[in-house]
Amino acid sequence: MGSGAPLKLVARRHPGYWISGVIVVALLGALVWGFARGNIDWGIVPHYIVSGVIIKGFEKTLLIAALAMILGLVLGTCFAVMRLSNNPVMSAVAWLYVWAFRGTPVLVQLLIWFNLPLVFPSIGIPGLFHVQTVQLITPFLAALLGLGINEGAYLTEIIRGGILSVDSGQTLAAKAHGLSSRQTLAKIILPQAMPAILPTIGNEAIGMLKMSSLAAVIGYMELLESAESIYYVNARVMELLFVASFWYLVATSVTSVGQYYLERHFGRSQVRRRSLADRVLRSLLSKNKARTKEALTSE
């Protein structure tokens, strides 16, 4: 202390980091080694990854997940608004919907939709039209209804939370300026609820991609059902489950990346200052050179 040259500051060493790191890597290596030497024919995995049946199944997985998610979003928005309505009947019905569909396993719901023909052999409006329910409720439709309506129940709660997170002063201001309730919701509340809702919706979309595999039990030929249909014949069970996992990982990874950009678009522009690039682009688009210069020099 005191006189002399100032002492150099050095970071503390952590030998524990190295030891625990080596142990974890060794365990991981053992796992990989085990699977590599195990009774699995890795050679055929790439072949099946690009095989026609699997690709077709993957497409159907993407299709059902996307459609069910859209159905869920529509239902979720409607029921969230109903849940917040002053009309006690509306609010109670929305509560009941969430209670019923969030409270039962989605697998059970899928089976119920698929077996609906047992309850109603034929449906229609008397005198107008009639259909055999068995022909109407295809595995596709049962999967769409089961997954979408179940998802809607979860999204109802998520969207309701987002709406409630918007400052109540916003509603006051909108109403005070003569906007109707509907305009207030569409133009003021929902746009501001988006940043709060989006991260969770991204998670739900990833969940939906995986949950769609449940549709295999009602015979919808999505990714898992396609993989199963192959290993029922050639008994390469693990190989084909890994093939399916590969495509699930691709889909969920791409969705995560999309979610990241969506969040950045909605979230950051709401809270933080616009980035330099964004400001320059905006002013370029508005063809105002003076402002561009200003944006560049003010940084």
Contacts to another protein by CB under 8 A? 167, 169-170, 172-181, 183, 187-188, 191-192, 270-271, 273, 282, 286
Q: Are 209 and 244 in contact (CB under 8 A)?
A: no
Name the minimum Å distance from CB 274 to another protein: 8
Name the minimum Å distance from CB 257 to another protein: 25
Name the minimum Å distance from CB 170 to another protein: 6
Q: Judged by CB, which is closer to another protein: 236, or 279? A: 279
Q: Judged by CB, which is closer to another protein: 47, or 177? A: 177
Q: Judged by CB, which is closer to another protein: 19, or 296? A: 296
Task: Work out the angle between the directed axes of helices 88-102 and 139-164 (0-180°, nearest 10).
Answer: 120
Q: Judged by CB, which is closer to another protein: 135, or 297? A: 297
Spell out the residues 6+ positions from residue 90 whose beta carbon is closer than 8 angstroms to its own: 82, 83
First-to-final CA distance of the chain: 42
Beta-bridged to residue 131, according to DSSP, are 123
Name the minimum Å distance from CB 177 to another protein: 4
The DSSP call for residue 286 is T
The helix or strand, by DSSP H or E, that contains position 237, with its residue range, turns out to be helix 237-263
Tokens for 150, please give them: 């179940």
Q: Judged by CB, which is closer to another protein: 184, or 255? A: 184
Q: CA 134 → CA 35, 97, 141, 152, distances in Å?
A: 44, 25, 11, 25
Name the minimum Å distance from CB 168 to another protein: 9
- Report the alpha-carbon angle 68-70-62, nearest 5: 55
Name the minimum Å distance from CB 82 to another protein: 16
- Report the alpha-carbon angle 58-252-81, nearest 5: 105
Q: Judged by CB, which is closer to another protein: 98, or 295? A: 295
